[in-house]
Structure 1
């Protein structure tokens, strides 16, 4: 028996749903009012008026337009390539986007992908099962290290049944496999382009026929902007926008002010003050994005943080309640759990909590064994992050830890921490993905290509295996209890608290469809009202 993509998640509600639609987790002093999508209010033949430039403010620049690159420019790249599936926030289910359907068997270890016969690239190359297979297989090439490798390795074989049908067989059950096709592996690159263009050239300037999306690459001025132009003839219908201008800034307040000034139509933010202002502004719409855990990422290789006592001390030193009130405007949660309170799968297993006396004991023990008590703390230098870093520095000092802040521009921060792994501790995040509870935590598994903390622990690995196979809220909550217990012992990273996260859209823009993950926003059906 097979179940269609949308029904799997309607009948098995495994998503990380809020217990209420508007309230944040326990401990929050404020609530936010989220808008509902109007899925019919998108670009169509009946849409009055056309044209204009859509201004998209991305969180970071990324390293280019090759979907298989570990630092893919995902917001801009999605407009070029599109994706086979899309997560629909309102129905809490996956929907086919460029695919026709994706169905899985009861066991969740075999899936059938159907493609629309009309789909294809601008050079006349049709979208086929063989093209999908070839594009996905690039992500398993050791020349293209990326965070999706451990997930894609679950695929034991992909069988081309016919031009429009691909059978995907897994070595282990994965009930939320449609997630992978809403991410870069689902952004299918024209096979003729893959044969003709190097990965370097694809990343720097993809040819017009590279992607299935509504837009083509026009210009990239590093550290300034990206320009995308609409296709003259698109297989998927009318395009209402003329072009897309992509800039980037992680600063929520700066992005909010740019939207007020009419310079930006979309940005995503977990900057508390900016989110609160946007929620109160009648010229903006607020859509719920995944919860974001503010984390202290700890390099386990060759630094003082290889000592679990030091890692535990850092976690015990952090007072989430103070950070929530002073930095996040009270709309976050002080909880140190792996899932915030108020979410259906919040574990009953207690996390490590703020305990200054316990932190002092651990610090003293580590110093007695030769540690000098110093940690270098790498931070992306947005105002909110810097303020939080100063506060965390003071909390650490109170328990005997001396922190040196290393404040970096976002590009330098990503290069130093994610690529070079040249850090001791860094300010990071876990995005609690509504559509795949296992996915955000999988990078803490041993050998994961995205595990820039060089962490390895057998108990964490075992708990992640249980979480991946879990279905339904009760099974997932039980699995999360096991992961929380293993996390408390190993402390691969510290959870400082949970931040409000929102997609913020100007009322001048319609048809923008955010999805489950932090960087999932579809603009191929967007249009401007003025």
Structure 2
């Protein structure tokens, strides 16, 4: 049994109240939008922030400590035949639905081993590097990109991974009916041309300096056009991918196993197999890691557990996560009917949030208590100023909206998992102090997905992590969640200023991005697209005995040239 300071709160649901809504007026910043296909944004965040909450600061790491030391390990060289043998287990938090890169919310780590990817984000060097690709270059305005492929790259049946295969695979993500998490961004490719067998030319619908990022996501996991795509979801055949491993078996709720190719086109594969297991409880994952039952640990909500693993000497890579809550601006049946669409109410909700208190209660004091778009130590932060905690001003705004007819009530929705419930309850307590009566409704995954992605849920605020991660590998992607036609915009937010800044960030050179983020922060502070209270990190860690492991994009590790020290 957990000690009292670490117990999860009970799962208590409330019936959604029926109540009056704030009238539309000049503070309504959202326009009605069409329902969007299910993606990984809010859903992934709700799942990744799930876990138990530390109720006590005793023995906790210093606030913000986890922000340092972003990458350690992975630079030991590559597999050679004399290093062959052994298997690796990856302990994930959640099990997703598919192994098809174009199939929606899919199993990224096993898919990485099966398909590999055209590009890989190197978090240590903070740059994109070719993996299946040999080169990637752009014209002067970054509207045309030319991809060169590795000579000899081939799928498991010997079919060449050539320009036509790349085009056919990426077209699956661009299709009108695509379920791909990256469909909207993939559709920014207006044309693709096979210049020759090993060269693809991409023409974009506008400048995008961070296009290499897209080829390091599932879009860059090229699937064999000779394989029936219906087979990719649950049992991809050996011919499906050009990675170092092939699918062996998947027992949902237990394990997924891939085994090495004996004749991989890119050289010897040292590891005999890679096994992926899912354990929601981070302490259970750490226990498996400590006992040697898992060699790779994926850490999400419980930063104290992640920090212990780092302090104990594990190699690792860390990825930022913005903490907060998501107002509903109105999608589907909820269009222009939610109190979350009233800017005065949103400002009151943000001003009432005490970041120090929230991060202490929700993360055990490990997260950085800020309301800025990126962390204080980020190279993108050139003096960003967030919204300060101001209970008196929050109370004044609530009184003002009540005088205009608002009943002072909110519906808050959270996925029925302990950390999400705790976040919701803590925020509700702070809002009660300024005269807001909010009720928390906890729902299971299917209802959460329907309400948060497609509308009709009747909620005003969603416990979702506060928006997606401010990705260092794609700064411009962050605004996809807030631009009117952005790929990650699931709650109906719309602001022409944000739309303009999103376009400018797409075209910005690296040295221009910090100044642009200052402009984004200024608009953010005025309009409150999300209610923020902190910055923390996800983490992938691996035992020092696992050599040559290559961390990539968010919580992904490539084991194609890795080996276990003997």
- TM-score interval, smaller chain: 0.7 to 0.9
CA contact (8 A) 1:251 1:384 kept: no
Going from structure 1 to structure 2, the CA distance change for 1:259 and 1:378 (only over 3 Å counts) comes to: farther
Question: What's the counterpart of residue 317 of structure 2?
Answer: 288
Alignment counterpart, residue 297 of structure 2, candidates 267, 270, 274? 267
Which is worse superposed, 328-337 or 110-119?
328-337
Matching of residues 25-44 of structure 1 within 5 Å: 28=64, 32-33=68-69, 36-44=72-80
The answer to whether residue 153 in structure 2 is matched with residue 115 in structure 1 is no
The answer to whether residue 504 in structure 2 is matched with residue 466 in structure 1 is yes
Query: Aligned Cα RMSD in Å?
Result: 2.6
CA contact (8 A) 2:371 2:532 kept: yes
Going from structure 1 to structure 2, the CA distance change for 1:520 and 1:408 (only over 3 Å counts) comes to: farther
| Deviation (angstroms), 1:415 | 6.1
CA contact (8 A) 1:121 1:190 kept: yes
Q: Secondary structure at the match of 1:427?
A: coil
Alignment counterpart, residue 440 of structure 1, candidates 460, 465, 478? 478
| Deviation (angstroms), 1:244 | 2.0
CA contact (8 A) 2:81 2:270 kept: no
Which is worse superposed, 263-272 or 333-342?
263-272
| Deviation (angstroms), 1:384 | 4.2
The answer to whether residue 219 in structure 2 is matched with residue 185 in structure 1 is yes
CA contact (8 A) 1:378 1:427 kept: no
| Deviation (angstroms), 1:35 | 5.3
Question: What's the counterpart of residue 172 of structure 2?
Answer: 138
Q: Distance in 2 between matches of 1:141 and 1:30?
A: 40
Higher relative contact order (CA 8 A, sep 6+): 2
Question: What's the counterpart of residue 492 of structure 1?
Answer: 529
| Deviation (angstroms), 1:152 | 2.5
Question: What's the counterpart of residue 225 of structure 1?
Answer: 255
Question: What's the counterpart of residue 8 of structure 2?
Answer: none
Q: Distance in 2 between matches of 1:366 and 1:252?
A: 42
Q: Deviations over 1:29-54 (max 9, x none)?
A: 6775555334233322242x4132x2
Q: Distance in 2 between matches of 1:29 and 1:513?
A: 24
| Deviation (angstroms), 1:274 | 0.8
Which is worse superposed, 99-108 or 216-225?
216-225
Q: Secondary structure at the match of 2:200?
A: strand
Q: Secondary structure at the match of 1:87?
A: strand
CA contact (8 A) 2:540 2:556 kept: no
Q: Secondary structure at the match of 2:520?
A: helix
| Deviation (angstroms), 1:300 | 1.2
- Where do 5+ consecutive residues of structure 2 fail to align? 1-61
The answer to whether residue 395 in structure 2 is matched with residue 360 in structure 1 is yes
Question: What's the counterpart of residue 507 of structure 1?
Answer: 544
CA contact (8 A) 1:300 1:453 kept: yes
Matching of residues 103-502 of structure 1 within 5 Å: 103-193=137-227, 196-198=228-230, 201-270=231-300, 271-282=302-313, 284-285=314-315, 287-301=316-330, 302=334, 303-346=338-381, 348=383, 350-380=385-415, 383-407=418-442, 413=448, 417-418=452-453, 422=457, 423-424=459-460, 425-428=462-465, 429-473=467-511, 475-502=512-539
| Deviation (angstroms), 1:466 | 1.3
CA contact (8 A) 1:463 1:486 kept: no
Q: Distance in 2 between matches of 1:211 and 1:281?
A: 36
Q: Distance in 2 between matches of 1:249 and 1:317?
A: 35
- Where do 5+ consecutive residues of structure 1 fail to align? 1-25
| Deviation (angstroms), 1:27 | 6.7
Q: Deviations over 1:102-134 (max 9, x none)?
A: 122332222211112211111121011111011
Q: Distance in 2 between matches of 1:206 and 1:114?
A: 26
Going from structure 1 to structure 2, the CA distance change for 1:372 and 1:266 (only over 3 Å counts) comes to: farther
CA contact (8 A) 2:117 2:221 kept: yes
Q: Distance in 2 between matches of 1:205 and 1:421?
A: 35
Question: What's the counterpart of residue 15 of structure 2?
Answer: none
Q: Distance in 2 between matches of 1:35 and 1:486?
A: 32
Question: What's the counterpart of residue 85 of structure 1?
Answer: 119
Which is worse superposed, 366-375 or 126-135?
366-375
Q: Distance in 2 between matches of 1:241 and 1:443?
A: 38
